[in-house]
Amino acid sequence: MLYLWLKALHIIAVVCWFAGLFYLPRLFVYHAMSEDQTSRERFQVMERKLYRGIMIPSMIATLLLGIWMIALNPSLFGTGAWLHAKLTLVALLIVYHHMCGAQLKRFARNQNTHSHVFYRWFNEVPVLFLLAIVILVVVKPF
């Protein structure tokens, strides 16, 4: 029963983390397009609160709950390479998360060098991670 509660909480944390991963780069798009100081300051506040208040706690909860589930059921590592592939993608997603944090700091210092077009493409990256991770977990193709 504990395992099912952990799984449910893990899925909730993943959804919250991805909500932030989808929304923060979208804020970057609008921030890069903004032309007045008031708008830039507003985006800086929104970006900081989203990153620190939602994304970081959700990422930590996702990781801790996932580790806890694996600790309770280490036999998962023997069910195929899907879990190893998923964990690799999660590691890369953490890198992407920190890249978002680095961009946030550049915006906060008014040192952004990218256009809104760059951020529109940057915003698509988590979609690819989500597709691959969900397929690996549900289909377990290998």
State how far the Cα of 39 lies from the Cα of 46, in Å rounded to an integer: 11
pLDDT, one tens digit per residue, over 40-75 is 999 999 999 999 999 999 999 999 999 999 999 999
Q: Specify the pLDDT at position 14.
A: 98
Where on the phi/psi map is residue 33: left (φ > 0), alpha (ψ -120 to 50), or beta? Answer: alpha
Give the per-residue pLDDT at 80.
87
pTM equals: 0.95
Q: Average pLDDT by consecutive 10-residue portion of the chain (142 residues)?
A: 97 98 98 96 98 98 97 91 97 98 98 97 98 97 93
Predicted pLDDT of residue 87: 97
Output the average pLDDT for the chain: 97
Alpha-carbon distances of 101 from 29, 73, 96, rounded to whole Å: 15, 33, 9
**Cα–Cα distance between 105 and 100 in angstroms, integer?**
9
Identify the pLDDT of residue 138: 96
